[in-house]
Structure 1
Amino acid sequence: MKLAKRFFKKYLLSTLIILILFFVLNIILICGTLLMAWNNSTDPDIPVQTISKNITLNVDGTISSTDYIENTLKNKSAWAMILNEQGNVIWEKFLPEELPRTYSNLQIAKFSRWYLQEYPVFIQEHSAGLLVIGCEPNSITKYNFSIDINYIHSLIVGIFLMICFNILLIFILFWRNTHKIEKSIVPIIDGIDSIAQGKPITLSETGELSSINAELNKAGKHLLQKEQARAEWINGVSHDVRTPLSIILGYASEIEKNEDASQPVQLQASIIRKQSEKLRSLIADLNLTSRLEYSMQPLIKTSFSPVEIARQVIIGFMNGPIDNKYSFDFHSSSDMIPVLIKGDTELFSRMLSNLIQNCINHNPHGCEITVEILKENDTCIISVIDNGDGMTSTQIEKMNSGIFPNNMYNSNGESVHGFGLKLVYQILTAHNGNIKYENILPHGLKVILEIPIEHIDPYEEKIS
């Protein structure tokens, strides 16, 4: 559910960013278009003041101009003239023949803002009179606007509000569509997550995605039935094998202890007993790992001392039929004595037994097995160490990633690390712990278990 919400938040945020980029891009395009149109157009900016400065009224009343005037007017395809107070042309440059040389005050008032006939003109006051500069017909368009200032202010505010309203409306529509999609897809994502965890699902088979929901319901039901059948089959096989195995163990033990039997027969009976005990342990592990995997094993959690449980497990191995080539050592820090952890004591003992048995099974030539228990902040650190053959780097990497082999034996018929350690991983996960595997120098394996410590008063635990 959290992943789905995070996905749709990112989707909504990316939509908002795209919307902002869209408006920024449009503004850039508008500015670029205006700039390109300006560059492609003929420059209407006639340098009226500069032209005026290059026209001089002499002392004798004559008017002279520099070469700049002629060059500028030619480049602009323009003409110029100066009118005196009576409206007569007293100076001209490239003035078209069809234009009159005398103008009334009314004519001057008309073309001062607009056109002189079809020629757009610019007006500039000069010491000699009124300077008039005209351009080619249809080269410049002149408009004269008179707009109330309040109208301009209202127009600017209205355009701004309209843009903001459109942005808000688009964002609301995007959010609405995103929310609608989220309501349809989140149950599907949750359903897939439930299927992955082996939980039953019941999705509503209505709406636009009803066909997908129906298929997920069908797939979830099928997988659940399949896994349940598998668990029941493992439980049934374990139960059916247990009785004949007990008979085999009983007869093998009797033959092994029978003094009338020959030594080779007793040795064969001993081998049968040991392998039968290993098979019984494997069946128990298989049944337990199946029950843990499908949440069929209830955890009976109590507060207990990991130091005491570890001692009991080690003593059990030392008092059992263990070969002398295996030795045991146990260390615990003094601050671990009053520390308690909460969990299932039976499963915790089984976890430590599996780790120690793993050291024995994979080091047939013998090894030293050390169990260490330390306290680090609010965590109980349990290390099971042996100086045997260890694991390959590939096995270490897979184990630390929670990947275990499907087969208990390799192609040479030798047992491999994995099945018992998978049970250790499952038990530790049920106790909210972590596990780490690492090789030690010069040779050997170290398995580190991290389990959270429960903060309670041990005296209160005894009273309750």
Structure 2
Amino acid sequence: MKPAKRFFKKYLLSTLIILILFFILNIILICGTLLMAWNNSTDPDIPVQTISKNITLNVDGTISSTDYIENILKNKSAWAMILNEQGNIIWEKFLPKELPRTYSNLQIAKFSRWYLQEYPVFIQEHSAGLLVIGCEPNSITKYNFSIDINYIHSLIVGIFLMICFNILLIFILFWRNTHKIEKSIVPIIDGIDSIAQGKPITLSETGELSSINAELNKAGKHLLQKEQARAEWINGVSHDVRTPLSIILGYASEIEKNEDASQPVQLQASIIRKQSEKLRSLIADLNLTSRLEYSMQPLIKTSFSPVEIARQVIIGFMNGPIDNKYSFDFHSSSDMIPVLIKGDTELFSRMLSNLIQNCISHNPHGCEITVEILKENDTCIISVIDNGGGMTSTQIEKMNSGVFPNNMYNSNGESVHGFGLKLVYQILTAHNGNIKYENILPHGLKVILEIPIEHIDPHEEKLS
């Protein structure tokens, strides 16, 4: 659920960033277009002030101009004239022949703002009169605007508000669509997560994604039926094998202890008994790991001392039919004696038994097995150590990653590291613990179990 919400938040944020970049890009494009239009403009860019300064009214009333003015006007395909107060031309340069030589005040007032016939003109006051500079027809467009300043202010504010409103509207529409998609997708993601955990799902088969929901419901139902059939098969096989296995163990034990039987027969009976006990243990592990995997094993949690349980497990091995080439040692810190943890005592004992049995099974030439229990903050640290052959670095890496082999035996028929340890991993996970494997020097294996210590109210314990 949380990863899905983080995904949609990132999606919404990325959408907002895309919108901002979109508007920035459009502003850049608009500015670029205006700049390109300005650079390609045919505006003659007449230097009216410069031309006016280079025209001189002489003392005798005549008007003279420099060659600079003539060059400018030629280059710009323009013309110029000066009108006196009566509207008569008293100086001209490149003036078109079709234009009048005398202008009334009304004519001057008209072309000063617009055009002189089809020629766009510029007006400049000069000491000699009125300077008029004309350009080629259709080279410049002239407009005359008179707009109220309040209208301009309102227009700017209105455009700004319109842009903000559009951005907000787009963002709301994106958020609405994202929220709509999220409401449809999140149940699907939760359903996939439930299927991965082996839980039943019932998704609504209505709406836009109803077909996906329907297929997920079918897949979830099919997987549950398949896994249930597998668990029931394992349970049935375990139950069916239990009786004949008990008979084999019983007869093998009787033959092994029968003094009338020959030595080779007793040895063969001993081998049959040991292998049958191993088979019984493997079947029990298989049944239990299946139940834990599909949450079919109810945990009966009580408060118990891990030190006491560990002692009982070790004593059980020492009093059992175990070879003298295996030795046991047990250490616990003094602060662990009063510590209690909450869990299933039967599963906890099975977990320690599997770890010790793993040391025995994979070190046929014998080894020293040490169990240590320490307290570190609010955590109980249990270490099972042997000085046997250890594991390869690849096996260590897989075990620490929670990856276990699918096969219980290798190509030589020997049991491999993993199946019994998978059960240890499952039991520890059910107790909210962690496990770590590491090789020790010069040789051997160390398995570290970390189980949280729950602070138990003594009054609550008395009531229970």
Deviation at 1:56, TM superposition (A): 3.0
Summarize deviations over 1:50-76 as a string: whole Å, max 9, x none. Answer: 222333333443333334323322232
Summarize deviations over 1:137-179 as a string: whole Å, max 9, x none. Answer: 1011011111112222222222222222222222222222222
Q: What corresponds to 1:108 in structure 2? A: 108
Name which of structure 1's ranges 325-334 and 347-356 shifts more when overlaid on structure 2. 325-334
1:21 is the counterpart of 2:21: yes
Deviation at 1:364, TM superposition (A): 0.9
Report the secondary structure of 1:112's partner residue: helix
Question: What fraction of aligned residue pairs are identical, expressed as a percent?
Answer: 98
Change (3 A) 1:259 1:67: farther
Give the unaligned 5+ runs of structure 1. none
Deviation at 1:291, TM superposition (A): 0.4
Change (3 A) 1:337 1:89: farther
Equivalent residues of 1:115, 1:121 under 8 A apart: yes
Equivalent residues of 1:386, 1:445 under 8 A apart: yes
Change (3 A) 1:46 1:371: farther
Change (3 A) 1:221 1:60: same
Equivalent residues of 1:305, 1:337 under 8 A apart: yes
Name which of structure 1's ranges 414-423 and 77-86 shifts more when overlaid on structure 2. 77-86
Aligned-partner Cα distance in 2 for 1:244–1:314: 29
Aligned-partner Cα distance in 2 for 1:338–1:63: 120
Change (3 A) 1:55 1:327: farther
Change (3 A) 1:74 1:442: farther
**Equivalent residues, number:** 464
Equivalent residues of 2:12, 2:178 under 8 A apart: yes
Name which of structure 1's ranges 20-29 and 267-276 shifts more when overlaid on structure 2. 20-29
Equivalent residues of 1:340, 1:458 under 8 A apart: no
Deviation at 1:279, TM superposition (A): 0.6
Change (3 A) 1:334 1:95: farther
Name which of structure 1's ranges 269-278 and 182-191 shifts more when overlaid on structure 2. 182-191
Deviation at 1:350, TM superposition (A): 0.8
Deviation at 1:236, TM superposition (A): 0.6
Deviation at 1:463, TM superposition (A): 6.3
Equivalent residues of 2:191, 2:216 under 8 A apart: yes
Report the secondary structure of 2:113's partner residue: coil
Name which of structure 1's ranges 14-23 and 219-228 shifts more when overlaid on structure 2. 14-23
Deviation at 1:44, TM superposition (A): 4.5
Name which of structure 1's ranges 231-240 and 64-73 shifts more when overlaid on structure 2. 64-73
Equivalent residues of 2:54, 2:66 under 8 A apart: yes
Aligned-partner Cα distance in 2 for 1:432–1:267: 44
Deviation at 1:410, TM superposition (A): 1.0
Deviation at 1:208, TM superposition (A): 2.4
Deviation at 1:457, TM superposition (A): 4.8
Aligned-partner Cα distance in 2 for 1:103–1:211: 86
Equivalent residues of 1:194, 1:201 under 8 A apart: yes
Equivalent residues of 2:359, 2:369 under 8 A apart: yes
Deviation at 1:361, TM superposition (A): 0.8
Deviation at 1:462, TM superposition (A): 5.1
Change (3 A) 1:57 1:452: farther
Aligned-partner Cα distance in 1 for 2:368–2:233: 39
| Superposition TM-score, scaled by structure 1 size | 0.95
Change (3 A) 1:73 1:380: farther
Deviation at 1:202, TM superposition (A): 1.3
Name which of structure 1's ranges 396-405 and 73-82 shifts more when overlaid on structure 2. 73-82
Summarize deviations over 1:258-277 as a string: whole Å, max 9, x none. Answer: 11211111111111111111
Q: What corresponds to 1:48 in structure 2? A: 48
Equivalent residues of 1:338, 1:458 under 8 A apart: no
Change (3 A) 1:460 1:114: same
Change (3 A) 1:192 1:84: same
Summarize deviations over 1:309-356 as a string: whole Å, max 9, x none. Answer: 222212221222221222222222232223222111111111111111
Deviation at 1:117, TM superposition (A): 1.1
Summarize deviations over 1:360-391 as a string: whole Å, max 9, x none. Answer: 11111112222222222222222212221111
Aligned-partner Cα distance in 2 for 1:418–1:135: 96
Q: What corresponds to 2:317 in structure 1? A: 317
Deviation at 1:459, TM superposition (A): 7.4
Change (3 A) 1:362 1:108: same
Equivalent residues of 1:436, 1:449 under 8 A apart: yes
Name which of structure 1's ranges 421-430 and 318-327 shifts more when overlaid on structure 2. 318-327
Aligned-partner Cα distance in 2 for 1:341–1:55: 108
Name which of structure 1's ranges 219-228 and 145-154 shifts more when overlaid on structure 2. 145-154
Name which of structure 1's ranges 57-66 and 105-114 shifts more when overlaid on structure 2. 57-66
Change (3 A) 1:2 1:35: same
Name which of structure 1's ranges 453-462 and 148-157 shifts more when overlaid on structure 2. 453-462
Aligned-partner Cα distance in 1 for 2:381–2:242: 36
Q: CA RMSD in A?
A: 1.8
Q: What corresponds to 1:361 in structure 2? A: 361
Aligned-partner Cα distance in 1 for 2:170–2:407: 58
Change (3 A) 1:369 1:58: farther
Name which of structure 1's ranges 99-108 and 384-393 shifts more when overlaid on structure 2. 99-108
Change (3 A) 1:88 1:229: same
Deviation at 1:17, TM superposition (A): 1.9
| Superposition TM-score, scaled by structure 2 size | 0.95
Equivalent residues of 2:43, 2:140 under 8 A apart: no
Name which of structure 1's ranges 190-199 and 420-429 shifts more when overlaid on structure 2. 190-199
Deviation at 1:119, TM superposition (A): 0.9
Name which of structure 1's ranges 345-354 and 284-293 shifts more when overlaid on structure 2. 345-354
Name which of structure 1's ranges 17-26 and 293-302 shifts more when overlaid on structure 2. 17-26
Aligned-partner Cα distance in 1 for 2:91–2:124: 14
Summarize deviations over 1:367-422 as a string: whole Å, max 9, x none. Answer: 22222222222222222122211111111111111110011111122221110010
Summarize deviations over 1:215-250 as a string: whole Å, max 9, x none. Answer: 211111111111111100100100111111111111
Deviation at 1:286, TM superposition (A): 0.4
Change (3 A) 1:376 1:73: farther
Deviation at 1:6, TM superposition (A): 2.0
Equivalent residues of 1:327, 1:367 under 8 A apart: yes
Report the secondary structure of 1:179's partner residue: helix
Deviation at 1:458, TM superposition (A): 5.4
Change (3 A) 1:446 1:61: farther
Equivalent residues of 2:43, 2:139 under 8 A apart: no
